[in-house]
Amino acid sequence: MPVAEVWPEVERAERLARGAALKWASGVFCRPEHLERLSQYKKRESQRTTSIHTRLKSMVQSYLEGVGWGLEQLREARAELREVSHALRKAGLESSQNTEGVKSLEKLRDVSVNHQQLLAAVSNLPRLYSVRTMVLETERLVESRRLLEAHARLMELEHWQDDILWQLHGNAGTAGSSLSAEDKELVTKYFCGVGRLVEALGKEMWAVVSSALALARQNPTPFVSAVRIVEREEALDQALLEERGGPGGVSRPLPPGRPRCWRACFFQVLEEAVSARFRSVSYLHTRGPGLAGHLSALQHGIMADLATVRHLLEHCVPSHYRLTGAYLRASHRCLHTHLAQVSSWDLESGEIFAVLNWVLHIYNSPDMMGHPELVPEMEKEELGPLISTEGLEQLQSKYVQSVRKSVSEWMHKALQVELQDWQREQEPDTDHEGFYQTSLPTIITQMLEENARVALMIGPSLRDQTIHMGLYEMENLLNRFREALVEFGKERRRDLTNGRNQFYLHYLLASISNCIILKKSTESLQQQQSSRAGGQYSRTPPNPLAALDRAVRRACRLVMDQLLLDLQPLLPGLLTRPWLAQGDPTPKLCRVLEHHLDLYSRVRPPCRQRLQEEAQWLMVVEYVRALMQKRLVCRGAEERRQLGQQMVQDDQQFREIFQSLEGEGSVPEVNPLALLPILADFIRLKDPMMLTLEVSGLIAKYPDISEEHVSVLLDVRGDISRDVRGTVLDMLEQSAPPLPLGYRPIFTDILVPPSTLAFCLPTAKCA
């Protein structure tokens, strides 16, 4: 058979090889001169072909050797399999022959199991007979609080119960089955007294632990016994848990009621004993001062208990108990819960202060948890705050609201007392400096300062909130005070005829002094505030100073109205011919002014100077208003001289009255009294042609003077021609300057009465 038919890949490979060779040859011998190296190429290819044939033969030889070794291994394996198969057939024959012997051994095993059960029953009979007796004895030991002996008996009973259950479990396992429920129930029922003993012993132990603080001062032996029992039980729990995975993979089940975890119960009972101190506390028992007393009792009780724990109980327990730290944790948690309950009550300001002061200052002070011996324990425990930040903010807000209610009520009462004082038929009281005053500012100032001082005992934040609240209430009070002043003035005008309110002016002046005192108190409170003060009132900051200024201005206006009212009967006699001849009523006016200025001296600075200045302005304005009414028109040069001279004399009398104002250095920038000599010079000027210059000077000093005012002055002179009048008024119209900054107008408040002429000539300027 041709090779190509057996292996077609050989033919394909040969074709590919021939094609590759032709391609290579066509590339190498593309030119005739390249044929000279044909022999060289032929020799090289022949050598390479020989090398390839040699490698192929070596490789085929190694493959053939490997195949021979594999066949030899297969022959050896076949022989070994024949031997193993023969041995297995022989073992099967021997096993079938021994079946009858195994059946006879099963009977022996059953006899052995029965023997073991009978042996266990015989060995446990003494224990079983004595179980009830031991249970009764243990109960008597528990009742007499012989706890260690009772626990030893209890451990023995439990050991018997566990051994019996384990033996039954082991026999059942040997028999190839698990412990039946009937057997387990039978043992449990027989040892039911053991469970009752465990409960009774635990009850007595926890009673001892809960009264450990009292026992420690008298007889700590029961407490020590309880701790030893707790440690025994913890050791038993640990040992039984480790025995669950016994040797050989046998798992021993836990006895009934295990693990007991009595150490955790110990600390739980301790915490319950601490919390019992707070259970009987209710709102009714701690109303008002009772809450502060209750917190003080808590402080002394907790510190006494901690001293007992540190000095007595700590030595009765293992060091890893860290009993002081446990008591601190329990006390802190109970206090946290108790104070949260107290904070939810409807507390008054004094009660809230007691809680805040106790939480923020007393609790962490050296007298309590900040005690040098407790500080290391506190640092280890990291207990956190008694009341959260949100809870403290809510308490402080409740405190401020409670104080606000009290402050508002007291301010209302103080204002009512003030209004009643205004109706008294006697002068207001004076202070040590002789200034008028009433009880209002003293009450308000002391109340606000006392509230700020008390709040500062808690902290700057509460002080700022309290001051802020106080400033709001102060502003409300001053607004009501201003309304009361307005009503007081209306009442005065209604009662002019019956002579009531004889000391009306005195109480107005006392009110102004009161406002000055309140202003100083307000500024003092504002200085005590920090820059971040405000709290719940920060949306609309209070402005009591503005309210004070409004109240003072209203009171000053009422004082000036009273001065004008007292001057009013005398003002019609000014600048008349009787006045020009006799000088009346200027002395009477001076006496009225002097009386008022004397009363103004009872007002605290700077309002005293303000009232004096206002009185000066009022007098000058009324004097000039009388001049503008043209009650006196001069008939000649002599009358103009007399009028000017009398005006200068009046000015001198007024200056003597107001000389105290000048002595205090509070003279206004534009002295209104300086106007009278200027007007006197204007009237008695001899040369009418100089009036233009005189008017220009008058305009320079008093730019608010109008054409109507100058026209009246010209009419009072009585010697001004139509041409001179026109020239003066034209000059005045052209040179009307703007009012300078800070200038207080005087002529603006003086209205010129309308002219009595029926008509004006078209060629003349109207006066």
Chain segment 394-433, per-residue pLDDT in tens? 999 999 999 999 999 999 999 999 999 998 889 999 888 8
Whether the full predicted model's pTM is greater than 0.75, yes or no, is no
Nearest to 519 by CA among 556, 560, 477, 549: 549
Reading the block at residue 41, the tokens are 């190429």
Compute, in degrees rounded to 10, the torsion defined by CA atoms 286, 291, 293, 296: 130
233: pLDDT strictly greater than 90: no
Residue whose token pair is 């006895």: 255
Confidence bin at 760 (pLDDT 50/70/90): very low
Strand (E) or helix (H) holding 131: helix 99-143
Amino acid 248: pLDDT: 47
User: Which stretches of 358-459 are DSSP H helices?
Assistant: 375-381, 389-422, 440-458
CA distances to 87, 99, 106, 759 from 93, in Å? 10, 11, 22, 167
Reading the block at residue 699, the tokens are 């305009």
284: pLDDT strictly greater than 60: no
CA distances to 187, 512, 516, 519, 601 from 607, in Å? 104, 7, 8, 12, 10
Average pLDDT over residues 300-329: 87
Q: Is the peptide bond before 259 cis (omega within 30 degrees of 0)?
A: yes
215: pLDDT strictly greater than 90: no
Amino acid 765: pLDDT: 43
Reading the block at residue 561, the tokens are 């109205």
Amino acid 182: pLDDT: 59
Q: Between 607-628 and 586-600, two packed helices, what is the crossing angle to 10 degrees?
A: 160
Q: What is the mean pLDDT of the chain?
A: 82
Question: Lowest-confidence range among 197-201, 286-290, 493-497?
Answer: 286-290
Q: Between residues 24 and 354, which one has the greater pLDDT?
A: 354
CA distances to 3, 10, 11, 16, 465 from 6, in Å? 5, 9, 10, 18, 111
Alpha-carbon gap, residue 158 to 160, rounded angstroms: 5
Confidence bin at 161 (pLDDT 50/70/90): low
759: pLDDT strictly greater than 80: no
Nearest to 682 by CA among 703, 697, 667: 697
Q: What is the pLDDT of residues 34-88, one digit of tens each?
A: 777 777 878 888 888 888 888 888 888 888 888 889 888 988 898 999 888 888 8
3-state secondary structure labels for all residues of 587-626: HHHHHHHHHHHHHHCCCCCCHHHHHHHHHHHHHHHHHHHH
479 burial type by CB count under 10 A (0-12 exposed, 13-18 middle, 19+ buried): middle
Q: Between residues 134 and 288, which one has the greater pLDDT?
A: 134
Reading the block at residue 512, the tokens are 């102004």
Confidence bin at 130 (pLDDT 50/70/90): low
Average pLDDT over residues 695-702: 89
Strand (E) or helix (H) holding 239: helix 221-243
Alpha-carbon gap, residue 360 to 387, rounded angstroms: 9
281: pLDDT strictly greater than 70: no
Burial 18-29, CB ≥16 within 10 A → b, else e: eeeeeeeeeeee
Alpha-carbon gap, residue 330 to 309, rounded angstroms: 13
Instruction: Check if the beta carbon of residue 255 is closer than 8 Å to that of residue 244.
Output: no
Amino acid 173: pLDDT: 47
What region does 666 belong to: left with phi over 0, alpha with psi -120 to 50, or beta? Answer: alpha
Average pLDDT over residues 465-480: 93
Amino acid 286: pLDDT: 62
Amino acid 117: pLDDT: 63
Average pLDDT over residues 225-230: 87
Amino acid symbol at 225: S
Q: What is the pLDDT of residues 80-114, one digit of tens each?
A: 998 888 888 888 887 777 776 676 677 777 777 67
CATH numbers and ranges of domains, the chain: 43-245 (no CATH), 262-387 (no CATH), 393-562 (1.10.357.50), 570-737 (1.10.357)
Q: What is the pLDDT of residues 641-683, one digit of tens each?
A: 999 999 999 999 999 988 855 555 444 555 788 999 999 999 9
Average pLDDT over residues 182-192: 59
Q: Reduced to 3 DSSP states, what percent helix, strand and coil does the chain have, rounded to the nearest 5?
A: 75, 0, 25
Q: What is the pLDDT of residues 567-581, one digit of tens each?
A: 999 999 999 999 998
Average pLDDT over residues 199-210: 84
Residues 142, 145, 149, 155, CA torsion sign? positive
Q: What is the pLDDT of residues 500-521, one digit of tens each?
A: 678 899 999 999 999 999 999 9
CA distances to 50, 339, 652, 672, 675 from 702, in Å? 140, 73, 21, 10, 9
